Amino acid sequence: MLAVLTAFASGCGGSDSDDGPLDVYAAASLAEVFPQIDPDARFSFAGSDELATQIREGARADVFAAASSKYPQELFAEDLVEEPVTFASNRLVLVVPRANPAAIESVEDVLQPGTRLVVAAEGVPVGDYTRTVLETLGLSGALDNVISNEDDVKGVAGKVALGEADAGFVYATDVTPVADRVLAVELPDDAQPPIEYQAAVVVGTDDEAGARALVEALRGPRGREALEQAGFVVPT
C-alpha cells in the first residue's frame, strides 16, 4: 500500500517540483496519514488555529489543511487561500488510560468530582467540538474538571496515554497511535458535531501546480483510500 501511495505522490508535486518539496500546513490529527499521501512534502502539523495565524503572518506555505471549515473559509475570505474543498470527516471519542483509575465507563462520568479531564483549548477545532458535545449532552459542568487546555489533539491524547489525566476528548483517528495505552469510550451518535476537514492552496505559493495537485489528490482514489484506512470518513 505504501509503495502505491509513494508512486502516486510523485505526481503531486513534492520533490519533483523545481521549487523543492511542498510546504504543507496541516492539522495535527493528519500527522499519521498525510506523509503517506505525499511522503516528499515538508509538513508542519499543529492546531488549525495556530497554522491559520502563521499563514496570516506571512509564513511560507503551499497547502493548508484544517480539521474544520472555519479557518480555511476565513482565510479564503481574506484572499489568503484559494477556495477550500472538503476532503474528510471524523468523529469524537472519549479516551481514558487503560488502567482507568477514575472508573469512567460513559461520557457522563466526566462529571464526577475530582475527575482530571484534559481537552483542547478553545479555538482549536477539537476543543470547540468538545465543548459542543458537552453542551449538547448537558455536561458543560465537566469543564470545571479540566486540568489542562492543550494546543492540539495530540497533546490531549498524549496526556491521557501517559496517565496524566483521567479522560480526554480526541478524534477517533487519534486513538490508533496510542491504542496500547488508552481505551476509547464512544459518544452518542446524536451528540456528534459535524466535523469537516478542508484543504486549500495558499495564495502566492511558489508551486501552484504541485499544491493544486496535492489538494486534488486528497479527493482522488488513492488519497481517499489512505484516509479511509486511517479511520477518516471521506465524502461520497
How does pLDDT run across 75-117, given as a tens digit for each residue?
Answer: 999 999 999 999 999 999 999 999 999 999 999 999 999 999 9
The number of distinct structural domains making up the chain is 2
Between strands 42-46 and 23-27, the pairing is parallel
Relative to beta strand 85-89, strand 42-46 is unpaired
Judgement on whether residues 200 and 85 belong to the same structural domain of the protein: yes
The identity of residue 93, as a single letter, is V
Cα–Cα distance measured from residue 30 to residue 66, given in angstroms and rounded to the nearest whole number: 9
* Residue 19 identity: D
Q: Where does 10-47 have alpha helices with state H? A: 34-37
Whether the pLDDT of residue 11 is over 60: the answer is: no
Instruction: Examine the domain organization and report whether 97 and 184 are in the same domain.
Output: yes
pLDDT at 19: 58
Percent of the chain whose predicted confidence (pLDDT) is above 70: 92
Domain CATH for 53:
3.40.190.10
- Type and span of the H or E element at 110: none
Phi, psi of 196 (to 5 degrees): -125, 110
Band the pLDDT of 6: cuts 50, 70, 90.
very low
Confidence of residue 20 (pLDDT cuts 50, 70, 90): confident
pLDDT of 13 reads 44
Contact predicate 167/146, CB 8 Å: no
User: Range of 100's domain?
Assistant: 92-191
- C-alpha cell of 171? 478524534
Compute the distance between CA of residue 206 and CA of residue 13 in angstroms, rounded to an integer. Answer: 11
Domain match, 96 and 187 both = yes
Residues 31-61: tens digit of each pLDDT: 999 999 999 999 999 999 999 999 999 999 9
Q: Among residues of the chain, what percentage have pLDDT more than 90?
A: 91
Cell numbers given for 198: 478542508
